[in-house]
Amino acid sequence: METQIMSCESDDLNLKATELRLGLPGTDPALEKQSSNKRALSEIDSCSDAKNGEQDRRAPPAKGQVVGWPPVRSYRKNCLQQKKSEADGSGMYVKVSMDGAPYLRKIDLKVYQSYLDLLKALQNMFKCTIGVYTEREGYNGSDYAPTYEDKEGDWMLVGDVPWEMFVTSCKRLRIMKGSEAKGLGCL
Amino acid sequence: MREDRPPPPPSRGGAYSPPPPDQVLENVLEHVLQFLTFRRDRNAAALVCRSWHRAEALTRSELFIGNCYAVAPRRAMERFRRATAVTIKGKPRFADFNLMPPDWGANFTPWVTSMAQCYRALEKLCLKRMFVTDEDLELLASFPSFRELVLICCDGFGTSGLAVVASKCRKLRVLDLIEDEVTDDEIDWISCFPEGETCLESLIFDCVECPIYFEALERLVARSPSLKKLKLNRYVSIVQLYRLMIRAPQLTHLGTGSFSPSEIVAQGDQEPDYSSAFDACRSLVCLSGFREIVPDYLPAIYPVCANLTSLNFYGEACFLCLQVLDTVRDAGLQAVGATCKDLRELRVFPIDAREDSEAPVSDVGLLAISEGCRKLQSILYFCQRMTNAAVIAMSENCPELVVFRLCIMGRHLPDHVTREPMDEGFGAIVKNCKKLTRLATSGLLTDRAFSYIGQYGKLVRTLSVAFAGDSDTGLKYVLEGCPRLQKLEIRDSPFGDSALRSGLYRYYNMRFLWMSSCRLTRRGCKEIAQQMPHLVVEMINGEEEEVKEDYVDTLYMYRSLDGPRADAPSFVTIL
């Protein structure tokens, strides 16, 4: 009955039913993301076919935001957006602290696709081992346990809620010593 | 080719024997070569013969590495033993736009480790698109003569690294952080500069997204009498800017920070006289910033407009720059055209950087700039709408253009008046701007545009292409026609293996070729790799693990003296 953290990705069936997302019915963000690069190429195909006949070119779809276009460095793009997101805590850039480390780091949650991604990055960043999450036991047995503060100010264990919900509600992260995180394991 | 010179004849009984003629020549050569500063001249001198090669290597003080993977650190440092200034460039430019997964490489650590042994006397370092850690910075700070650090588009370090540099580099004159990603380690690095007068000449930190302790900055500026360049981040309010400017009227380059107040200023409150502060900066020639502009404050910069040679704006700021002309935003650019007659460089960024946004600048603004700023050398211009006529006008009015980068944000957009492709506009640029070395294209372009580039762009060294062209012929025109081409970056254009093959004889003379989301196959890339042993041919996969079609996601290839790199991550395949 143990559910590994990886079940968040592979055991989609269970989570999708209860997952809260913003989006038009029938759209799957995962699918859209994968095809974004390839779509640009196929647009070229259809565009050059139409070119010879038509006067008015079919404009590219407004919602077809392509990776890296327009070519503006993300730091310039983000400066306004970041200020807004910091203000309403929508959880894109969050601070990460680790018990015992003298410094903080800041990460952009949008960069990660899943808990596995995020934990790998945190382990690299702080040179620590975090271990495996189980629904019942939390991170029991690990040296460190990642926790986060959500929009309501509660401290939760990273992995308790579906990934999408986590990304939008996480305000800051704290990597606690495993022993201290015991209390958070049971919700 | 000369052989190594024979050993000098043995001297008899302590009598002075004059050095052999060869050695005299070599001494003279070394003295003369010190006057050669341009890289290209030095490279040419080094090819004359062995002794010139040797003398040139010993007298080269500035080492430029255009691609950190083109040569191993050791090899470079063993040839040029006396370099005191080093520039290294890492990732290709399209990595800036998320077209490459992070952790691709360009690590500075192997370089600084070699420098710690070979270049202890290092004075200046400039890194672009490299991954630099705090530990690397700490090692750098231990070099006793180190005095200039310029980091452009780098990442991997934080304010803790900056704190070490500030506190340990006693002779620091230049600390320029330009478009870097700096982690906030919650350390007040500005306070880490040592007490007493500093030799600071340039302090640029507008990209550092961390709050700073203003009083420490103010004290630092007050005790830096040589400070000429100061670019502040958005955590500095306009009131604080004022306080800094009155302490440093000798500034030549200013980045204004947020250019807005940190709190709401009530009506009637006594506000500082910003105009006079700007007026007092008589030497100001370069202005940027305005990160969170409040329109009321912009008239303050009018006194300096006449002297400005370089200007960085956000699109919206242009409109507000001239309040008299109410609503049309190109009007701001018209004002710039009317007042900044000596403008050499202009960059207009979009405040809303999305394809379908409403951009406040267009062909009208470009035309106005071209009519007013005849000495323009470099332009980067983002817009939603453009016409061939405006671009042609710029090509005719601004013959000094060296850099022309136009980004029409909607992909495949034609001339919005004639509905024609933008071929003629870009064609006019390459034809009329005879000094053009850098070109970035956009909008709807057919192969014809590339035929123009190949025909007229004889000095072009850097070419950026996106969503353009019809067929392989387009790319062939460029590869066959542009003899000086060094850096070619292409995305989302229908160029395939045949075009790639046509440039085979060019690639050893280029720094790199980048092609992403084009029509290259793995087989086509492999052919190149097999025929060109000194080319490193990297296939970089995007997010997907398996290759869905035979097309390669990204090809990045470059010449290298030391073969494929050892630090390639899993998503890179080196053919």
> What ranges in B342-485 are assigned the alpha helix state H?
363-372, 388-397, 423-432, 447-456, 472-481
B158/A103 Cβ within 8 A: yes
Distance CA B437, CA B447 (A): 20
3 state DSSP class of B38: coil
pLDDT at residue B307 is higher than 70: no
Distance from A96 to chain B by nearest Cα, in Å? 10
The whole-number average pLDDT for the span B339-364 is 75
Band of pLDDT at residue B23, cut at 50, 70 and 90: confident
- Selecting from B184, B355, B553 the residue whose C-beta is nearest the C-beta of A70 gives B355
**Residues B390, B366: contact at Cβ < 8 Å?**
yes
Report pLDDT for B570: 87
Q: Are strands B535-540 and B487-491 parallel, antiparallel or unpaired?
A: unpaired
For residue B388, give every residue at least 6 positions away whose Cβ sits within 8 Å of its Cβ, in sequence order, or none: B415, B418, B420, B422, B423, B424, B425, B428
For residue B331, give every residue at least 6 positions away whose Cβ sits within 8 Å of its Cβ, in sequence order, or none: B318, B319, B322, B325
Distance CA B380, CA B403 (A): 8
On average, the pLDDT of chain B sits at 85
Interface with B, mutate which of A103, A120, A127 (most B CBs under 10 A)? A103
Q: In this structure, which amino acid lies at residue A49?
A: D
Lowest average pLDDT, out of B360-369, B433-442, B544-553, goes to B544-553
Distance from B93 to chain A by nearest Cα, in Å? 10
Higher pLDDT, B303 or B464: B464
**Residues B529, B556: contact at Cβ < 8 Å?**
no
Show the beta-strand stretches assigned E in B267-397.
286-288, 310-314, 345-349, 378-383
A111/B419 Cβ within 8 A: no
* pLDDT tens for each residue of B383-413: 888 999 999 999 999 999 999 999 998 899 9
A48/B470 Cβ within 8 A: yes
CA distances in angstroms from B7 to A85, A117, B3, B21, B263, listed in the order given: 72, 64, 12, 12, 77
Q: In this structure, which amino acid lies at residue B500?
A: L
- Selecting from A60, A76, A111 the residue whose C-beta is nearest the C-beta of B349 gives A76
Band of pLDDT at residue B329, cut at 50, 70 and 90: low
pLDDT at residue B17 is higher than 80: no
**Token digits for B496?**
């395939």
**Residues B315, B361: contact at Cβ < 8 Å?**
yes
Band of pLDDT at residue A164, cut at 50, 70 and 90: confident
Report pLDDT for B15: 62
Band of pLDDT at residue B551, cut at 50, 70 and 90: confident
For tokens 């909607």, the residue is B410
Interface with B, mutate which of A48, A57, A75, A117 (most B CBs under 10 A)? A75
Distance CA A71, CA B354 (A): 10
Chains A, B: CB pairs < 8 Å: 116
Distance from A43 to chain B by nearest Cα, in Å? 10
Distance CA B187, CA A101 (A): 13
Identify the contact set of chain A against chain B, taking CB-CB distances under 8 A: 33-34, 37-38, 40-41, 43-44, 47-48, 55-57, 59-60, 62, 64-77, 79-80, 82-83, 95, 103-106, 111
Residue B285 has phi, psi (to 5 degrees) of -120, -10
- Selecting from B94, B179, B184 the residue whose C-beta is nearest the C-beta of A75 gives B179
Distance CA A44, CA B462 (A): 24
- Closest residue in B to A124 (Cα) is B103
The whole-number average pLDDT for the span B449-471 is 96
Report pLDDT for B491: 95
**Residues A81, A108: contact at Cβ < 8 Å?**
no
Show the beta-strand stretches assigned E in B252-344.
253-256, 286-288, 310-314
For tokens 């701001």, the residue is B332
A76/B353 Cβ within 8 A: yes
Distance CA A37, CA A110 (A): 18
Distance from B6 to chain A by nearest Cα, in Å? 57
Q: What percent of chain B has pLDDT over 90?
A: 60
Q: What is the Cα Rg of chain B in Å?
A: 26
* pLDDT tens for each residue of A69-94: 888 776 555 444 444 444 444 447 78
A70/B382 Cβ within 8 A: yes
pLDDT at residue B324 is higher than 80: no
Enumerate the residues of chain B whose CB falls inside 8 A of the CB of residue A75: 179, 181, 207, 209
* pLDDT tens for each residue of B413-447: 999 999 999 999 999 999 999 999 999 999 999 99
Distance CA B441, CA B437 (A): 13
For tokens 């910075």, the residue is B137
- β-partners of residue B69 are none
Distance CA B124, CA B133 (A): 18
- The single-letter DSSP state of residue B551 is B
The whole-number average pLDDT for the span B307-326 is 32
Pick from B212, B85, B211, B102: nearest CA to B154: B102
Asked whether this complex has an ipTM greater than 0.85, the answer is no
- Closest residue in A to B156 (Cα) is A125
Domain boundaries, chain A: 93-182
Band of pLDDT at residue B560, cut at 50, 70 and 90: very high
B466/A69 Cβ within 8 A: yes
**Residues B538, B574: contact at Cβ < 8 Å?**
yes
Distance from B423 to chain A by nearest Cα, in Å? 15
Enumerate the residues of chain A whose CB falls inside 8 A of the CB of residue B543: 33-34
A70/B354 Cβ within 8 A: yes
The whole-number average pLDDT for the span B237-262 is 82
**Residues B175, B203: contact at Cβ < 8 Å?**
yes
* pLDDT tens for each residue of B130-146: 999 999 999 999 999 99
Report pLDDT for A65: 65
**Residues B169, B142: contact at Cβ < 8 Å?**
no
Distance CA B229, CA B225 (A): 11
Report pLDDT for B359: 66
Distance from A72 to chain B by nearest Cα, in Å? 7
Interface with A, mutate which of B128, B138, B159, B185 (most A CBs under 10 A)? B185
* pLDDT tens for each residue of B162-214: 999 999 999 999 999 998 999 998 899 999 999 999 999 999 998 898 888 99
- Closest residue in A to B553 (Cα) is A37
Report pLDDT for A120: 83
Q: Are strands B174-178 and B148-152 parallel, antiparallel or unpaired?
A: parallel
Q: In this structure, which amino acid lies at residue B231?
A: K
* pLDDT tens for each residue of A4-56: 444 444 444 455 555 555 545 544 444 444 433 333 333 333 333 333 333 33
Element (H, E) at B486: none
**Residues B519, B494: contact at Cβ < 8 Å?**
yes
Distance from B96 to chain A by nearest Cα, in Å? 6
- Closest residue in B to A65 (Cα) is B355
B355/A69 Cβ within 8 A: yes
The whole-number average pLDDT for the span A125-145 is 78
**Cα B55-B56-B59 angle, rounded to 5 deg:** 90
B102/A111 Cβ within 8 A: yes
- The single-letter DSSP state of residue B393 is H
Report pLDDT for B448: 97
Q: Which of A88-92, A97-101, A183-187, B39-43 has the highest mean pLDDT?
A: B39-43
Enumerate the residues of chain B whose CB falls inside 8 A of the CB of residue A73: 96-97, 153, 179
B183/A106 Cβ within 8 A: yes
pLDDT at residue B14 is higher than 60: no
Band of pLDDT at residue B109, cut at 50, 70 and 90: very high
For residue B323, give every residue at least 6 positions away whose Cβ sits within 8 Å of its Cβ, in sequence order, or none: B295, B298, B299
Report pLDDT for A59: 37
Report pLDDT for B300: 58
Distance CA B426, CA B407 (A): 12
Q: In this structure, which amino acid lies at residue A159?
A: G
**Residues B469, B445: contact at Cβ < 8 Å?**
yes
- β-partners of residue B559 are B535
Topology adopted by domain A93-182: Ubiquitin-like (UB roll) (3.10.20)
Distance CA A185, CA A82 (A): 32
- Closest residue in A to B182 (Cα) is A106
B519/A41 Cβ within 8 A: yes
The count of C-alpha atoms lying within 13 angstroms of the C-alpha of A141, restricted to the half-sphere facing its C-beta, is 7
Report pLDDT for B91: 95
CA distances in angstroms from A108 to A44, A122, A185, B183, B294, listed in the order given: 32, 12, 25, 11, 28
pLDDT at residue A175 is higher than 80: yes
**Residues B199, B170: contact at Cβ < 8 Å?**
no
Domains of chain B, CATH where assigned: 61-227 (3.80.10.10), 245-261+274-317 (no CATH)
Distance from A4 to chain B by nearest Cα, in Å? 23
Pick from B523, B514, B509: nearest CA to B575: B523
Q: In this structure, which amino acid lies at residue A139?
A: Y
pLDDT at residue B533 is higher than 80: yes
Distance from B73 to chain A by nearest Cα, in Å? 26
**Residues B122, B115: contact at Cβ < 8 Å?**
yes
Report pLDDT for B326: 21
Residue B136 has phi, psi (to 5 degrees) of -60, -45
Q: What is the secondary structure of B72-129 as a DSSP string?
A: -HHHHHHHSTT--EEEEE-S-GGGGGT-S-S----BSHHHHHHHHHH-TT--EEEEES
The whole-number average pLDDT for the span B74-103 is 92
Q: Which of A89-93, A130-134, B25-29, B71-75 has the highest mean pLDDT?
A: B71-75
- β-partners of residue B271 are none
Distance CA B378, CA B398 (A): 10
For residue B423, give every residue at least 6 positions away whose Cβ sits within 8 Å of its Cβ, in sequence order, or none: B388, B445, B446, B448, B449, B452
Band of pLDDT at residue B121, cut at 50, 70 and 90: very high
3 state DSSP class of B347: strand
